[in-house]
Chain A
């Protein structure tokens, strides 16, 4: 079930577009912002709300990388793996993160605290390597900074 708040937010987006299909991506992001990911059940609910079929909606959902169709931890770290960050050593940062959290890239920690996801260029190449946790951007990373950063997210 979509919450009243989610429905309200989706309805606000509807005012910006000429038809319902156009807000389907917004709708999924709205739901995801609250629930972390978009479950099969959410796909059913959003599709029904927008008068689309589940196949229509999931066809869209599975195209875009920022729509997550699998559960995530409480915090999501997007680690830039694109060219500038690669040159500047993002693989080391990644390995450090994985080691500290005991999970692989793409996976979640056993305690549900973190999910680590690779991400394409975050547009901060002049401060590579970078990552983004829950929307906070961390730049000029090196291995030593990982622990204090992680400590901020419980």
Chain B
């Protein structure tokens, strides 16, 4: 801590920080562009100038650039100083010299940092009278629009895209006042985090292309705090609606989880909510029906027959719980394939009963040695990958500290560190998107990866059982990994469910535990496939195969399926048998799919932006999402459907919740593991109102004027303190209930500064969400003793592994038009040597037979895949109905393709 003097007033400041960071943290308004709390300082824009004085006697002072000046003890500065103020206005004048002044037609208008900063400096009239430079814009793909004439050359885009996110296809070209930020040639931006450019860019150069199709100004959006449903990271998002459709998703800062960034799947996947495949009415026998008839039918089915329920890893805790209560815990089944169910449970056991805690994404970023076992993190849990990309800098940047180079001095640190990276070992069946920053990569089938894990554990602690018959090569790798983890301050092991291998989960635990045992504060993190995979598993559902059996045994008549296309969970034959055997099929879901097509009764389930609920992310952090707008038609939250307020004749007390608070406390009472979720966000009782609509929300009284000039009473929200209006209490909302970031003078998302205790730190009042498991100090545990046998390639029986794709593997985002453009075609990926033995060339068709399902897929030859293993794209039609991993046969189809031999 240091004492610095601002306008002659002493204030306490973090001496390890720069003046801009400190001044913003203390609540001062100081304009800036090139600096970003996650990217550090480079001193390019010169916007953040202040006057610095040597001592109390010095009245002249000199202009310094706040973001480049350390907040050393005794520093004296003035923001108000007229010369400094004049300089800042001059900088804006310079920045605006070539700017097109096209705010009315700019998508950034009304939430533009450049607008805000221009107003803040007082620059308000244009003197430059010469021609402006103009550029040609590029096509950058379906996610972002490009308008380079608005550029102010702050360098943020390339610093985020290249330095931070590791992208290579965006760069700065040329120099002087004609620097061009774009690609070498038109084309889709390759980096999975490109959407952040829309927020990182302080003006309208990079804007959300999906928003453009249904454009609305920020001030006209009705917004709510939400949680992304497109993977298990649980990134916090703010969602905005207008006229009954969801318009966009932006980052909602949560220091512990996503920080300032989102992945492109999360940012652009939202459009499924507006899909024309949405189910908006109750369907009985495929035909729309009235709510009362539908509910009467459901009531009858529940009363008459034995019901089973199938839960969902993409539905909220509340909705899963409602179904579980409705059918009874013994009839509640996991809506996921058995392998995934068992691996997820194994991972939860390990986290619950082992000594290694599950880190937050922020903690992951600060780990300094990492072993990844069996995951392509970028394609499964993208934000974790972005954090890991930063974690490899942890060790090298210590050099900067040794040389007294402050860590916020971004380019100085990067120039010192160059390409040096801390340990990141990636052991996986195929190439991953983080391999470019890995210390070493190792390719093997899942059992081989598990054996490596066991070997690492043994190398760390001889008490951990050894993996027998390892090759000397793998033994050596294990030794290097063990050495790197052992010498780290904060080692981390990552695995997950992608390989469907329980052994892999155990191996990861084994490594982390061996580290713990030898006194290292090791952490252990698992990648789960969906936004509430962990939450569903914590509800202890029975395996899906048991549901199939129950149905076949005839012990149930009715199956109620919650937000789930079962065809993604098992073979066509199995699922069809289940759905055909059931006398009655009831499905609650958002979009029409193969399962709803088989249902007798379909109830329109609200999507995330239309409902409230709680999700448990991969960290095991429970987070609440809130409704942004009342949905059209009969759509409502599944847990609302499944309550005795709607279902007649349900025995009183079975599902007696009316509001979110009711069902949350019912869950807390019923399930000790989930008891903390009451604290995931404040209850409705605890708070006054929080406005979903910004102060300048327009057309409030005329929005329905074509129908009626009476101003309708805004709908009441019984589930949360959020109001469907501009009505708000005097207090700022608690962190979990911030619908959007805005502060007077700060209309852009950069206003988040005003919501943090310290810039870049946790939100005031703590980051939203609550951890469900916290490690107790004294925990009794034991090593796993069974090391798996080595994998034997077998040309009659291939091991078919799922290969995940950020765009395509997740069910809902695939239905968003922009994302759907980026989904790869299905293929079968196999080793070139194997392919040669099969006599298959790249691009030729291969028949893939798994059980009774047969697919013809293009061969994609690769060098990374181990022999005897083949990859199929996870969740991508036509193979989205396979539950992988699986064993299967591959046979070439060349003759069939060409019709005759040459």
Contact = CB atoms under 8 A, between A and B. Distances in A.
A and B touch in the complex (CB under 8 A): yes
B175 interface: yes
In the complex, which of the residues A56, A59, A63 has the most CB atoms of chain B within 10 Å of its own CB atom? A59
A62 B174 CA distance: 5
Contacts of B135: none
A48 to B, nearest CB: 13
**Contact count band on A:** 10 to 19
Contacts of B180: 62
Dominant SS among interface residues on chain B:
loop
Interface in A30-44: 40, 43
Contacts of B173: 58-59, 62-63
A139 to B, nearest CB: 29
Interface string B327-357: 0000000000000000000000000000000
A55 B170 contact: yes
A40 B174 CA distance: 15
A3 interface: no
Contacts of B419: 19
B164 to A, nearest CB: 16
Nearest to A47: B184
Given A19-B419, A43-B184, A58-B184, A53 B174 contact: no
A53 B169 contact: yes
Interface in B163-201: 168-175, 180, 183-185
Given A19-B419, A43-B184, A56 B172 contact: no
Interface of B: 168-175, 180, 183-185, 419
Interface string A42-68: 010000000011111011001100000
A58 B171 contact: yes
Nearest to B173: A62
A53 B170 CA distance: 9
Contacts of B175: 62-63
B174 A56 contact: no
A55 B169 contact: yes
A64 to B, nearest CB: 9
A29 B183 CA distance: 22
Contacts of A59: 171-173
Contacts of B174: 62-63
B507 to A, nearest CB: 33
Contacts of A43: 184
Nearest to B175: A63
B470 to A, nearest CB: 33
Given A19-B419, A53-B168, A55-B168, 16 more contacts: A40-B185, A54-B185, A55-B169, A55-B170, A55-B171, A55-B183, A56-B168, A56-B171, A58-B171, A58-B173, A58-B184, A59-B171, A59-B172, A62-B173, A63-B174, A63-B175
26 contacts: A19-B419, A40-B185, A52-B168, A53-B168, A53-B169, A53-B171, A53-B184, A54-B169, A54-B184, A54-B185, A55-B168, A55-B169, A55-B183, A55-B184, A56-B168, A56-B171, A58-B171, A59-B171, A59-B172, A59-B173, A62-B173, A62-B174, A62-B175, A62-B180, A63-B174, A63-B175
A143 B169 CA distance: 48
A54 to B, nearest CB: 4
Nearest to A44: B184
A48 B173 CA distance: 19
B369 to A, nearest CB: 24
A113 to B, nearest CB: 28
Which 5 residue pairs of A and B lie closest in terms of their CB atoms, listed nearest first?
Answer: A53-B168, A59-B171, A54-B184, A55-B171, A62-B173
Contacts of A62: 173-175, 180
A56 B183 CA distance: 9
A143 B173 CA distance: 38
Nearest to B183: A55
Interface string A120-152: 000000000000000000000000000000000
A53 B173 CA distance: 13
Nearest to B418: A19
B192 to A, nearest CB: 16
Contacts of A52: 168
Contacts of A19: 419
Nearest to A53: B168
B337 to A, nearest CB: 39
In the complex, which of the residues B175, B183, B184 has the most CB atoms of chain A within 10 Å of its own CB atom? B184
B289 to A, nearest CB: 56
A59 B179 CA distance: 10
Nearest to B184: A54
A153 B294 CA distance: 91
A44 to B, nearest CB: 9
A117 to B, nearest CB: 16
B645 to A, nearest CB: 58
A25 to B, nearest CB: 15
A63 B173 CA distance: 7
Contacts of B170: 55
Nearest to B419: A19
A59 B184 CA distance: 8
B284 to A, nearest CB: 56
Contacts of B168: 52-53, 55-56
Contacts of A56: 168, 171
Interface in A54-105: 54-56, 58-59, 62-63
A62 B175 CA distance: 8
A111 B183 CA distance: 33
A52 B168 CA distance: 8
B843 to A, nearest CB: 22
Nearest to B169: A55
In the complex, which of the residues B171, B174, B185, B419 has the most CB atoms of chain A within 10 Å of its own CB atom? B171
Nearest to A43: B184
B832 to A, nearest CB: 20
Contacts of B171: 53, 55-56, 58-59
A59 B173 CA distance: 4
A64 B170 CA distance: 18
Contacts of A58: 171, 173, 184
Contacts of A53: 168-169, 171, 184
B513 to A, nearest CB: 39
A122 B184 CA distance: 31
Nearest to B178: A62
A143 to B, nearest CB: 32
B214 to A, nearest CB: 31
Contacts of B184: 43, 53-55, 58
Nearest to A55: B171
A39 to B, nearest CB: 13
A55 B190 CA distance: 12
B129 to A, nearest CB: 26
A42 to B, nearest CB: 12
A58 B173 CA distance: 7
Nearest to A54: B184
A41 B174 CA distance: 19
Nearest to B181: A59
A54 B185 CA distance: 9
A40 B183 CA distance: 13
A57 to B, nearest CB: 8
A55 B189 CA distance: 11
Contacts of B169: 53-55
A62 B172 CA distance: 9
A54 B184 CA distance: 6
A87 to B, nearest CB: 24
A17 to B, nearest CB: 13
A24 to B, nearest CB: 13
Nearest to A58: B184
A98 to B, nearest CB: 24
A19 B419 CA distance: 10
Contacts of A54: 169, 184-185
A56 B168 CA distance: 7
A56 B169 CA distance: 7
Interface string A19-31: 1000000000000
A53 B185 CA distance: 12
A154 B323 CA distance: 88
A59 B180 CA distance: 9
